[in-house]
């Protein structure tokens, strides 16, 4: 009976929510803490929050009803937490403020100090897994009758604080409990802790089937924070949770996240995959499952992919193909040849696969990154490329790493993570690489150009061109590099567009000194209106001007011809011309769009797209007819936006972002189907 007096706890995993959002996950992390605490016979009252406005309103209505505010801290809610904690403290100065989560450099006193400087109202930070440590803290707080000084004798060293007067870090002096035994943790789903969130259509369920990651990639918080063997939850509990979620979730996307770092690393994950398939077959509850697969792909991953093939993609992330860089970041990929074999097998099974790469990793020059990109393209797989993010709590963001590799960074605001709640205005930044000892600012500008073309060729509208190039043995990434460097031959319209992209990409970066956490409502609105995904926005600008698009089409044909002349003089020139026509046929004339039209080509395109290979092998004796159609609903969204703004590029961009989850390219790409 250690909770000697009532202490109502507000447990929050805050996020920037909007009413039209259906992609935020339920607060699983804090629900685990709640379920753990509630096991006690005299457990305190706990309220779980995800929506900042709900927390704001609850505290404003009765500030003194809460004895403790506990916030989960990550890069996407750091400033939101600062703002909410400040507001709660101002209304209830006696409240005990606790935080936890990987977004802290706990490896140095300096890192802990800087976190406490950012949160002047913070009393305790829980490092590592929270269930047992937070429970120990709650117990100690109550037993010490909120006398903070006496708490330190009763809590483990993984709980830290800061003496602001002496400027010293405080640490618990009690024994630490170590990693949790996942099999002994109560389920937040089965205990009902997440019912209210499953009932709310804005939230996507997320489940942990295991904890820990045996790898320790330097850029990743996950590895740095858990860095341990994989610890499974009970299989029966996981299966029962899936049944429970399926029966209760109201999320219209029918999505599910699996939070494990390496799903498929355990043999029993096959059984979980079968259960997912079975439940989806019976109820349709899990149509989109987001999984981070074990990066050392093996037969079990192939088996799981075969079971879940219509419900998920298989990520086979490499991050870099440079062995020296892999060593620096502490990562080991499977040999390149083995990736290729897995891709082919998975493709043969109809499984969608993709690979992630990071540019700007320490030790990686621009040329070595682009060489790796070319090799990745040879494997005929979807590729996502990200800049190196310096996430607090990762080894790469530590002072030592920054100094050793002369890492320079800047910050950019994340428009998706902005919002106003009562009088609070908030926005988040991400810290991105600008340069290091082998990568200059000029390299950054060049890689952004290459990646604009990468984005362009990843759009389904240029799918025919990519397929054609693959069939001819031409490397698409090498062509992207060629286009990025082909400045002298670019038409003026395209050149202006690329210069605008370059300027905007540089302007969105701000120095650390300019980063702030309080925003006015007007500033939040301005960020939302003006901050855009530069690649998507500039692509939309390209599509929205008939003249610019025409000159781009002519330029692309000529550039491809010049590229082929040096790489593949025997490439099929007739097919090349046809394929360019086919790509541009799929682009409507914005802003005055026809909803559909018919086209005729001398190719069996359906068979070509299924089988791949040389386009010439699918030439037919006569022309076949194809219907090109645009979705009326999506088109009406564009028209509505265009009527309001009169800016076709911006309207196209906004319409595209409206459908960012479900087939966004359907906004500006005719769907092509054979007639007859
Ligand atoms: S990137 Fe993946 S494998 Fe590497 S540490 Fe993070 S979770 Fe583990």
Which residue would you say has higher pLDDT here, 139 or 169?
169
Query: What is the average pLDDT score of the chain?
Result: 92
- The residue behind tokens 């690393």 is 265
- Find out whether 512 and 411 touch, Cβ atoms under 8 Å: yes
pTM of the predicted model, to two decimals? 0.92
Ligand 1 proximity of 405 Cβ (cutoff 6 Å): no
Q: Decide: residue 260, CB within 10 A, 0-12 exposed, 13-18 middle, 19+ buried.
A: buried
Residue 543 has pLDDT above 60, yes or no: yes
Ranking 8-12, 81-85, 341-345, 471-475 by mean pLDDT, the lowest is: 341-345
Rg (CA), the chain: 27
- Residue 640 lies inside a defined structural domain of this protein: no
Nearest CA owner, ligand 1 atom 5: 223
Backbone angles phi, psi at 53, to 5 degrees: -65, -35
Distance between CA atoms of 578 and 601, rounded to whole angstroms?
8
Q: How far is CA 168 from CA 20, 96, 141, 146, in A?
A: 45, 19, 21, 21
pLDDT of residue 2: 43
Ranking 136-145, 422-431, 581-590, 628-637 by mean pLDDT, the lowest is: 136-145
pLDDT one-digit tens code per residue, 423-438: 999 999 999 999 999 9
Distance between CA atoms of 117 and 148, rounded to whole angstroms?
18
- Residue 485 lies inside a defined structural domain of this protein: no
Q: Tell me how far the alpha carbon of residue 261 lies from the centroid of ligand 1, in angstroms.
A: 6
- Residue 16 lies inside a defined structural domain of this protein: yes
Distance between CA atoms of 41 and 82, rounded to whole angstroms?
33
* Residues of the chain above pLDDT 70, percent: 97
- Residue 465 lies inside a defined structural domain of this protein: no
- Residue 121 lies inside a defined structural domain of this protein: yes
91-98: average pLDDT: 93
Residue 184 has pLDDT above 60, yes or no: yes
- The residue behind tokens 């001819």 is 472
> Could you tell me what percentage of the chain is helix, strand and coil, using 3-state DSSP and rounding each to the nearest 5?
45, 20, 35
Residue 4 has pLDDT above 50, yes or no: no
Show Cβ contacts of residue 109 under 8 Å, excluding neighbours closer than 6 positions: 169
- Residue 64 lies inside a defined structural domain of this protein: yes
Residue 227 has pLDDT above 50, yes or no: yes
225-254: average pLDDT: 90
542-553: average pLDDT: 93
Which residue would you say has higher pLDDT here, 510 or 148?
510
129-144: average pLDDT: 90
Report the nearest atom of ligand 1 relative to the CA of 292: 2
* Residues of the chain above pLDDT 90, percent: 76
Q: What is the CATH number of the domain that holds 67?
A: 3.40.50.2300
pLDDT of residue 3: 46
Distance between CA atoms of 473 and 216, rounded to whole angstroms?
37
Residue 374 has pLDDT above 80, yes or no: yes
Query: C-alpha 261: how far from its chain's center?
Result: 14
Residue 39 lies in domain = 2-128+130-171
Ligand 1 proximity of 210 Cβ (cutoff 6 Å): no
Q: Which residue among 211, 222, 264 is best mutated to probe the pocket of ligand 1, counting the most ligand atoms within 8 A of its Cβ?
A: 222
pLDDT one-digit tens code per residue, 479-492: 999 999 999 999 99
Q: How far is CA 639 from CA 460, 532, 633, 650, 657, in A?
A: 22, 20, 10, 12, 14
Residue 23 has pLDDT above 80, yes or no: no
Ranking 63-77, 120-134, 164-178, 224-238 by mean pLDDT, the lowest is: 224-238
Q: What is the pLDDT confidence band of residue 454, given thresholds at 50, 70 and 90?
A: very high
Domain count, the chain: 1
Q: Which tokens is 90 given?
A: 């101002």
Ligand 1 proximity of 326 Cβ (cutoff 6 Å): no
Q: What is the largest CA-CA distance in the chain?
A: 88
- Find out whether 66 and 108 touch, Cβ atoms under 8 Å: no
385-400: average pLDDT: 95
Distance between CA atoms of 385 and 453, rounded to whole angstroms?
12
**Closest by alpha carbon to 538, among 476, 462, 456, 430?**
456
The sign one gets for the Cα dihedral 593, 598, 602, 608 is positive
- Residue 102 lies inside a defined structural domain of this protein: yes
Residue 22 has pLDDT above 70, yes or no: no
**Closest by alpha carbon to 217, among 408, 394, 338?**
394
Q: How far is CA 69 from CA 313, 347, 508, in A?
A: 38, 49, 34
pLDDT of residue 168: 96
Residue 111 has pLDDT above 70, yes or no: yes
Distance between CA atoms of 439 and 610, rounded to whole angstroms?
40
- Find out whether 329 and 404 touch, Cβ atoms under 8 Å: no
Q: What is the pLDDT confidence band of residue 676, given thresholds at 50, 70 and 90?
A: confident
- Residue 106 lies inside a defined structural domain of this protein: yes
Q: Tell me how far the alpha carbon of residue 295 lies from the centroid of ligand 1, in angstroms.
A: 8
Q: Tell me how far the alpha carbon of residue 404 lies from the centroid of ligand 1, in angstroms.
A: 22
Distance between CA atoms of 76 and 426, rounded to whole angstroms?
11
371-378: average pLDDT: 94
Backbone angles phi, psi at 66, to 5 degrees: -105, 135
Distance between CA atoms of 518 and 118, rounded to whole angstroms?
12
Q: Which residue among 208, 216, 316, 334 is best mutated to probe the pocket of ligand 1, counting the most ligand atoms within 8 A of its Cβ?
A: 216
Ranking 55-59, 92-96, 666-670 by mean pLDDT, the lowest is: 666-670
Nearest CA owner, ligand 1 atom 3: 215
**Closest by alpha carbon to 302, among 362, 366, 347, 259?**
347
pLDDT of residue 1: 39
Report the nearest atom of ligand 1 relative to the CA of 213: 8
């Amino acid at each position: 009976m250690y909770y000697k007096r009532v202490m109502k706890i507000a447990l929050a995993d805050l996020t920037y929510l909007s009413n039209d959002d259906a992609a935020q996950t339920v607060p699983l992390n804090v629900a685990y803490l709640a379920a753990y605490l509630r096991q006690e016979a005299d457990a305190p009252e706990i309220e779980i929050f995800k929506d900042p406005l709900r927390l704001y309103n609850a505290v404003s209505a009765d500030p003194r009803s809460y004895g403790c505010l506990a916030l989960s801290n990550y890069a996407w809610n750091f400033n939101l937490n600062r703002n909410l904690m400040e507001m709660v403290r101002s209304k209830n100065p006696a409240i005990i403020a606790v935080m936890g989560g990987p977004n802290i450099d706990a490896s140095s006193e300096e890192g802990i100090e800087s976190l406490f400087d950012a949160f002047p109202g913070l009393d305790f930070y829980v490092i590592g897994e929270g269930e047992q440590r937070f429970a120990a803290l709650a117990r100690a707080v109550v037993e010490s009758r909120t006398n903070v000084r006496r708490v330190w004798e009763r809590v483990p060293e993984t709980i830290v604080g800061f003496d602001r007067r002496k400027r010293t870090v405080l640490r618990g002096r009690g024994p630490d409990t170590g990693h949790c035994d996942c099999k002994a943790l109560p389920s937040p789903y089965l205990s009902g802790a997440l019912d209210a969130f499953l009932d709310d259509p804005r939230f996507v369920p997320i489940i942990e089937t295991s904890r820990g990651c045996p790898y320790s990639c330097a850029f990743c918080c996950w590895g740095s924070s858990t860095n341990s063997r994989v610890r499974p939850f009970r299989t029966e509990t996981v299966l029962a949770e899936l049944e429970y979620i399926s029966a209760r979730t109201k999320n219209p996307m029918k999505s599910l996240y699996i939070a494990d770092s390496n799903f498929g690393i355990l043999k029993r994950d096959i059984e979980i995959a079968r259960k997912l398939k079975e439940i989806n077959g019976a109820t349709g509850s899990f149509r989109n499952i987001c999984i981070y697969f074990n990066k050392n792909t093996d037969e079990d991953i192939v088996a799981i992919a075969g079971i879940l093939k219509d419900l998920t993609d298989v990520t086979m992330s490499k991050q870099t193909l440079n062995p020296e860089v892999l060593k620096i970041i502490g990562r080991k990929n499977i040999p390149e040849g083995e990736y290729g074999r897995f891709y082919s097998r998975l493709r043969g099974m109809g499984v969608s696969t993709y690979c992630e790469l990071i540019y700007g990793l320490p030790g990686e020059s621009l040329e070595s990154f682009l060489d790796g990109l070319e090799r990745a393209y040879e494997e005929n797989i979807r590729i996502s490329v990200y800049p190196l993010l310096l996430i607090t709590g990762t080894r790469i963001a530590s002072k030592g790493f920054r100094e050793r590799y002369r890492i320079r960074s800047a910050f950019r605001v994340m428009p998706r993570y902005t919002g106003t709640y009562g009088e609070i205005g908030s926005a988040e930044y991400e810290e991105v690489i600008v340069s290091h000892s082998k990568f200059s600012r000029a390299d950054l500008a060049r890689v952004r150009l290459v990646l604009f073309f990468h984005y362009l060729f990843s759009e389904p509208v240029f799918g025919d061109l990519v397929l054609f190039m693959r069939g001819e043995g031409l490397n698409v990434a090498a062509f992207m590099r060629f286009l990025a460097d082909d400045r002298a031959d670019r038409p003026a319209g395209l050149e202006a567009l690329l210069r605008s992209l370059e300027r905007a990409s540089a302007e969105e970066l701000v120095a650390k000194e300019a980063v702030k956490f309080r925003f006015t409502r007007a500033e939040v609105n301005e960020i939302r209106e003006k901050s855009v995904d530069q690649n998507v926005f500039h692509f939309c600008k390209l599509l929205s001007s008939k003249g610019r698009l025409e000159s781009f089409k002519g330029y692309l044909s000529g550039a491809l011809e010049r590229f082929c002349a040096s790489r593949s003089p025997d490439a099929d020139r007739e097919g090349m011309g046809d394929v360019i026509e086919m790509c541009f046929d799929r682009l409507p004339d914005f802003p005055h769009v026809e909803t559909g039209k018919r086209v005729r080509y001398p190719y069996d395109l359906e068979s070509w797209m299924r089988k791949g290979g040389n386009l010439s092998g699918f030439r037919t004796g006569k022309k076949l007819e194809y219907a090109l159609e645009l979705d009326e609903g999506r088109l009406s969204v564009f028209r509505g936006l265009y009527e309001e703004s009169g800016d076709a590029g911006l309207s196209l961009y906004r319409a595209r972002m409206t459908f960012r989850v479900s087939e966004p390219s359907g906004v500006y790409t005719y769907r092509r189907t054979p007639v007859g």
